[in-house]
């Protein structure tokens, strides 16, 4: 279990420089604007621009600088008793990670991140997504079900297709679906629907929230489609379910 140490907005001006070795924590920086020069373990200097993620692992050596202009983005820092070894990397953020980083930034700037646990949840998800993107291969024991499940939970209140939700992961869609079904006994699409319906039941427990509002909140294209899906999962309609509460 990782301890989230810090998370938030990251911003450095032109002229910024930082160098270290035997780094003692795990940090992910998602660059959203500007440019960051990165030198990792003897690799040539690369430029981290918008849409790139820097994964800094414990024990690594690196240099960071802003020789031309500053940069800003979001970051998450964590520490665990036993960190998985691996090199620090600079790589494309991927759609899922970019979306999470954007949502985290919006939550911070709007003040929503002051809600207990919200910033911690964003940070944990960013760390997981960055590590997944940074791994060239994953052992069979990697908890794919947990990783995909977190992504599904993040998209309960959106209409994002499953293919888009999974796009930031390093395996192909067929492999992900195969791993997930083997671990959970159900397909990713089915599980997302079941999670949405479970959330719908929680919302419908409040008699002041309409069925149409719940359908829209959870990203269903229409209240009719929501009712069909709800009945397929629960055996009753959302209206009937709400009246019995």
SS (H, E, C) the chain: CCEEEEEEEEEECCCCEEEECCCCCEEEEEEEEECEEEEECCCCCEEECCCEEEEECCCCCEEEECCCCCEEEEEEEEECCCCCCCCCEEEECCHHHHHHHHHHHHHHHHCHHHCCCHHHHHHHHHHHHHHHHHCCCCCCCCCHHHHHHHHHHHCCCCCCCHHHHCCCCCCCHHHHHHHHHHHHCCCHHHHHHHHHHHHHHHHHCCCCCCHHHHHHHCCCCCHHHHHHHHHHHHCCCHHHHHHHC
Looking at the structure, do residues 130 and 142 belong to the same domain, yes or no? no
- Give me the domain span that covers residue 54: 3-136
pTM over 0.75: no
Question: Do residues 47 and 64 make contact, with C-beta atoms less than 8 angstroms apart?
Answer: no
CATH of the domain at 109: 2.60.120.280
> What pLDDT score was predicted for residue 11?
93
Looking at the structure, do residues 131 and 19 belong to the same domain, yes or no? yes
Share of the chain above pLDDT 70, in %: 91
> What pLDDT score was predicted for residue 1?
56
What confidence tens digit (pLDDT) does each residue in 161-173 have? 898 888 766 667 7
Q: Give mean pLDDT, residues 230-234.
A: 96
**Pick the residue with more confidence: 14 or 84?**
14
Looking at the structure, do residues 108 and 81 belong to the same domain, yes or no? yes
Pairing label, strands 71-79, 26-34: antiparallel
Question: Do residues 220 and 205 make contact, with C-beta atoms less than 8 angstroms apart?
Answer: no
Give the domain-ending residue among 96, 112, 136: 136
Looking at the structure, do residues 150 and 68 belong to the same domain, yes or no? no
Give the domain-ending residue among 97, 115, 136: 136
**Pick the residue with more confidence: 104 or 182?**
104
Give the domain-ending residue among 119, 136, 153: 136
CATH of the domain at 168: 1.10.10.60
């Amino acid at each position: 279990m990782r301890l989230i140490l810090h998370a938030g907005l990251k911003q450095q001006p032109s002229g910024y420089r930082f160098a270290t070795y035997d780094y003692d924590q795990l940090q992910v920086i998602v660059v959203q604007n500007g440019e960051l020069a990165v030198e990792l373990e003897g690799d040539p200097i690369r430029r981290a621009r918008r849409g790139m993620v820097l994964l800094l692992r414990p024990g690594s050596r690196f240099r960071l600088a802003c020789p031309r202009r500053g940069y800003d983005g979001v970051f998450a820092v964590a520490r665990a008793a036993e960190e998985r070894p691996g090199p620090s990397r600079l790589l494309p953020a991927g759609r899922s990670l970019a979306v999470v980083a954007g949502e985290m930034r919006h939550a911070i700037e709007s003040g929503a991140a002051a809600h207990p646990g919200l910033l911690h949840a964003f940070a944990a998800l960013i760390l997981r997504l960055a590590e997944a993107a940074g791994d060239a291969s994953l052992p069979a024991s990697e908890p794919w079900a947990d990783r995909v499940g977190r992504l599904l939970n993040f998209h309960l209140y959106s209409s994002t297709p499953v293919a888009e939700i999974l796009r930031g992961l390093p395996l192909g869609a067929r492999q992900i679906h195969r791993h997930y079904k083997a671990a959970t006994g159900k397909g990713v699409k089915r599980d997302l629907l079941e999670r949405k319906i479970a959330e719908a039941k929680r919302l419908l427990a409040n008699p002041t929230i309409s069925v149409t509002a719940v359908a829209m909140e959870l990203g269903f294209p229409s209240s009719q489609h929501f009712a069909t899906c709800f009945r397929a999962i629960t055996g009753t309609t959302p209206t009937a379910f709400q009246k019995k509460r």
